[in-house]
C-alpha cells in the first residue's frame, strides 16, 4: 500500500537543527530543513523540502526564533509565501523569541513603530503564532501586536521557578523594575517564594538607575528574574545593590538570553554567581528546555488527524 500522505511537518533552518529536533520529537512532527544559499551580493535563495510530487503538507510549522531578526524576517517572507504555492494552507510560526515588540509608540514625529510594522507583516504571512514572553509594554496582548486569532503566548517564568526551587530553595526573588512584575509574581506564586520589585529610571541604553524597596536580603540567596537580558546593565546594578544589602548570593534567571557584547561579564563583575536561561535563544546559560510547552501549544492548534 502507498504511504499515507504527510499532513503536517516542521520546517527549520540549519542553525536551529537541534531546537527543531527537540520540538519535532515533543510534538511528534517530522522536522525538515530548508536549504539556504547566500549569493555574493547578499541575496538569499531558499529551497523548501517538498515531497516527490513537489508539494508540502497542508499544515506547516515554521520554527524561527527571531533574535538577530532582520535577515530572518526576509527568510520567513520567502518561505511562507512559497509554501502557499506548494500545497500549504495553514502556517504556524513558532518564534520562541519574538523581535520588534518593545517599540509600541512613537516618541518623536516620524518615528517608526516597529511593533505595528512587524506585527502586521507577520499577520499577513502566517495563520498562527506561538511565542514565549514577548517584550510587550503598553500593549496588553499579543493579538493587539499581531492581529491573528491564534496568537499564543507562553511564559518561561514557571519553568524557571522550578529550576530556582531546585538550585536555590527558599530564595528571595527580585525583579529589577516594574516591567518584571508579571514574571516575578507568576514565579513566586508557583513555589511561594518571597519577592520584591525595584524601580528603574532609564537615562539611555547604558545609563539606568535602580532603587530597591525595603527588603530583608541579609544572608539570603537572591535570584534576579526577568524576561530578557540584553546589555545586562540593569541586572548588574540591581545585583550590586543586593550584595551591598548583605545577600549571601545573587543569581540571574531570564527567559531570553540575548546578552549583547560584554553583558555576561558585566553580570559576573557585579557579583552574580550563576546565570540561567531558557533555550528560546541558544546560549551557554541555557538551563530550561521549552520544547514540551511549545509542543503542547502546537498540538492545540493542529487538527487531530495531523498528530
pLDDT digits (tens, 9 = 90+) for 232-272: 998 999 999 999 999 999 999 999 999 999 999 999 999 99
Q: Are residues 132 and 34 in the same domain?
A: yes
Residues 6 or more apart whose Cβ sits within 8 Å of residue 58: 7, 8, 87, 88, 89, 90
Residue 263 falls inside a structural domain: yes
- Segment 47-96, tens digit of pLDDT: 999 999 999 999 999 999 999 999 999 999 999 999 999 999 999 999 99
| C-alpha to C-alpha distance for 62 and 44, rounded to whole angstroms | 17
Residue 2 falls inside a structural domain: no
Q: Are residues 150 and 163 in the same domain?
A: no
Residue 211 falls inside a structural domain: yes
Cell of 231: 546589555
pLDDT for 173 = 97
Identify the CATH number of the domain in which residue 275 sits. 3.40.50.2020
Poorest-pLDDT segment among 174-178, 255-259, 295-299:
174-178
pLDDT for 4 = 63
**CA angle, 203 then 205 then 211, to 5°:** 50
pTM: 0.93
Q: Are residues 170 and 250 in the same domain?
A: yes
Residue 161 falls inside a structural domain: yes
Q: Are residues 127 and 236 in the same domain?
A: no
Position 1 pLDDT exceeds 80: no
- Segment 100-117, tens digit of pLDDT: 998 888 889 999 999 999
Annotated catalytic residue, options 32, 45, 72, 200:
200
| C-alpha to C-alpha distance for 21 and 64, rounded to whole angstroms | 13
Residue whose grid cell is 530597591: 212
Q: Are residues 249 and 218 in the same domain?
A: yes
Average pLDDT over residues 172-182: 91
pLDDT band of residue 202 (cuts 50, 70, 90) is: low
* CA 76 distance to own-chain centroid: 17
Q: Do residues 231 and 206 make contact, with C-beta atoms less than 8 angstroms apart?
A: yes
Using alpha carbons, list the distances in angstroms from residue 108 to 105, 111, 112, 113, 139: 9, 6, 9, 10, 19
Q: Are residues 109 and 170 in the same domain?
A: no
45 catalytic per annotation: no
Q: How many domains does the chain have?
A: 2
Contacts 24+ apart (CB under 8 A), 186-191: 186/155, 186/157, 186/158, 186/161, 187/157, 187/158, 187/160, 187/161, 187/225, 188/161, 190/157, 190/158, 190/161, 190/162, 190/165, 191/161, 191/162, 191/164, 191/165
pLDDT band of residue 209 (cuts 50, 70, 90) is: confident
Residue 244 falls inside a structural domain: yes
Q: Are residues 111 and 21 in the same domain?
A: yes
pLDDT band of residue 135 (cuts 50, 70, 90) is: confident
Residue 31 falls inside a structural domain: yes
Structural domain containing residue 281: 157-288
- Segment 29-42, tens digit of pLDDT: 999 999 999 999 99
Burial of residue 212 (number of CB atoms within 10 Å: 0-12, 13-18, 19+): middle
Position 158 pLDDT exceeds 90: yes
pLDDT for 120 = 97
**CA angle, 255 then 176 then 182, to 5°:** 60
- The pLDDT mean for the chain works out to 93
| C-alpha to C-alpha distance for 229 and 121, rounded to whole angstroms | 26
Cell of 262: 560584554
Residues 6 or more apart whose Cβ sits within 8 Å of residue 220: 171, 172, 247, 248
Contacts 24+ apart (CB under 8 A), 85-88: 86/48, 86/50, 86/54, 86/55, 86/56, 87/55, 87/56, 87/57, 87/58, 88/56, 88/57, 88/58, 88/59, 88/60
What does residue 230 show for φ and ψ, rounded to 5 degrees?
-110, -80
pLDDT for 6 = 83
Q: Do residues 121 and 148 make contact, with C-beta atoms less than 8 angstroms apart?
A: no
Q: Are residues 151 and 297 in the same domain?
A: yes
Q: Are residues 134 and 102 in the same domain?
A: yes
Q: Are residues 141 and 164 in the same domain?
A: no
Q: Are residues 144 and 165 in the same domain?
A: no
Residue 113 falls inside a structural domain: yes
Q: Are residues 42 and 191 in the same domain?
A: no
Residue 262 falls inside a structural domain: yes
Amino acid at each position: 500500500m502507498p504511504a499515507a500522505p504527510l499532513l503536517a511537518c516542521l520546517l527549520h533552518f540549519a542553525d536551529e537543527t537541534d531546537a527543531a529536533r527537540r520540538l519535532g520529537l515533543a510534538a511528534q512532527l517530522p522536522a525538515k530543513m530548508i536549504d539556504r544559499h547566500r549569493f555574493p551580493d547578499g541575496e538569499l535563495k531558499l529551497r523548501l523540502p517538498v515531497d516527490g510530487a513537489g508539494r508540502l503538507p497542508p499544515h506547516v510549522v515554521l520554527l524561527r526564533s527571531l533574535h538577530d531578526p532582520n535577515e530572518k524576517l526576509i527568510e520567513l517572507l520567502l518561505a511562507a509565501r512559497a509554501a502557499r504555492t506548494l500545497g500549504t494552507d495553514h502556517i504556524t510560526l513558532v518564534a520562541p523569541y519574538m523581535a520588534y515588540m518593545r517599540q509600541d509608540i512613537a516618541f518623536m514625529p516620524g518615528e517608526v513603530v516597529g511593533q505595528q510594522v512587524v506585527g502586521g507583516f507577520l499577520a499577513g504571512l502566517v495563520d498562527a503564532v506561538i511565542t514565549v514572553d514577548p517584550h510587550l509594554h503598553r500593549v496588553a496582548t499579543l493579538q493587539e501586536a499581531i492581529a491573528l486569532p491564534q496568537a499564543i503566548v507562553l511564559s518561561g517564568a514557571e519553568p524557571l521557578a522550578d529550576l530556582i526551587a531546585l538550585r536555590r530553595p527558599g530564595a528571595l526573588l527580585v525583579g529589577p523594575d516594574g516591567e518584571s512584575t508579571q514574571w516575578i509574581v507568576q514565579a513566586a506564586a508557583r513555589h511561594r517564594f518571597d519577592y520584591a520589585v525595584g524601580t528603574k529610571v532609564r537615562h539611555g541604553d547604558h545609563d539606568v538607575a535602580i532603587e530597591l524597596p525595603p527588603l530583608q536580603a541579609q544572608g539570603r540567596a537572591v535570584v534576579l528574574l526577568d524576561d530578557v537580558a540584553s546589555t545586562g546593565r540593569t541586572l548588574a546594578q540591581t545585583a550590586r545593590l543586593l550584595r551591598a544589602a548583605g545577600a549571601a548570593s545573587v543569581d540571574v534567571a531570564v527567559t531570553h538570553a540575548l546578552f549583547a557584547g560584554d553583558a555576561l561579564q558585566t553580570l559576573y563583575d557585579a557579583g552574580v554567581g550563576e546565570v540561567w536561561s531558557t533555550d528560546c535563544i541558544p546560549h551557554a546559560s541555557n538551563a530550561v528546555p521549552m520544547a514540551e510547552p511549545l509542543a503542547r501549544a502546537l498540538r492545540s492548534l493542529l487538527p487531530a488527524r495531523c498528530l
